Chains A and B, each alone.
Chain A
Amino acid sequence: QKEVEQNSGPLSVPEGAIASLNCTYSDRVSQSFFWYRQYSGKSPELIMSIYSNGDKEDGRFTAQLNKASQYVSLLIRDSQPSDSATYLCAVMKASNTGKLIFGQGTTLQVKP
Chain B
Amino acid sequence: DVKVTQSSRYLVKRTGEKVFLECVQDMDHENMFWYRQDPGLGLRLIYFSYDVKMKEKGDIPEGYSVSREKKERFSLILESASTNQTSMYLCASSDYRDPFNFGPGTRLTVL
> Which residues of A does B touch, CB under 8 Å?
32, 34, 36, 42-46, 49, 88, 90, 97-100, 102-105
Report yes or no: B50 in contact with A97, Cβ–Cβ below 8 A: yes
- Cα distance, A51 to B108, chains bound together (Å): 35
Q: Is the beta-carbon distance between A49 and B105 smaller than 8 angstroms?
A: no
How many pairs, one residue from A and one from B, have CB atoms within 8 Å of each other in the complex?
Answer: 49
- The one of A36, A97, A104 in contact with B31, judged by C-beta atoms closer than 8 angstroms, is A97
Q: Are A98 and B43 in contact (CB-based, < 8 A)? A: no
Q: How far is the CB of A11 from chain B (nearest CB, A)?
A: 17
Chain A residues whose CB sits within 8 angstroms of the CB of B96 once the complex forms: 98
* Known contacts A44-B102, A45-B102, A49-B99; is-contact A103 B50 (Cβ 8 Å): no
Cross-chain contact A98 with B90 (CB below 8 angstroms): no
Q: Evaluate whether A34 and B99 lie within 8 angstroms (CB atoms) in the complex, with A97-B31, A99-B48 already known.
A: yes
Does B103 contact A43, Cβ atoms closer than 8 Å?
yes
Whether B94 sits at the interface, judged by CB under 8 Å, is yes
Cβ of A2 to closest chain B Cβ, rounded Å: 9
- Report B-chain residues with C-beta under 8 Å of the C-beta of A42: 104-105
B42/A104 in contact, CB under 8 A = yes
Known: A43-B90, A97-B31, A97-B48. A102 touches B43 (CB 8 A): yes
Q: Would you give the shortest CB distance from A25 to chain B, in whole angstroms?
A: 14
Given contacts A42-B105, A98-B94, A98-B95, contact A103 B42 (CB under 8 A): yes
- A6 and B33 CA atoms in complex are apart in Å by 22
User: In the bound complex, what is the Cα–Cα distance between A88 and B90 (angstroms)?
Assistant: 14
Is B100 in the interface zone, CB < 8 Å from A? yes
Contact of B104 among A43, A98, A104 (CB under 8 A): A43
The answer on a CB contact under 8 Å between A43 and B102 is yes
Minimal Cβ-Cβ distance residue in B for A86:
B42
Chain A CB within 8 A of B45 CB: yes
20 inter-chain pairs at a CB distance below 8 angstroms, sorted by A residue, are: A34-B100, A36-B100, A42-B104, A43-B103, A43-B104, A43-B105, A46-B99, A46-B100, A46-B101, A88-B42, A97-B31, A98-B48, A98-B50, A99-B31, A99-B33, A99-B48, A99-B58, A100-B100, A102-B42, A103-B42
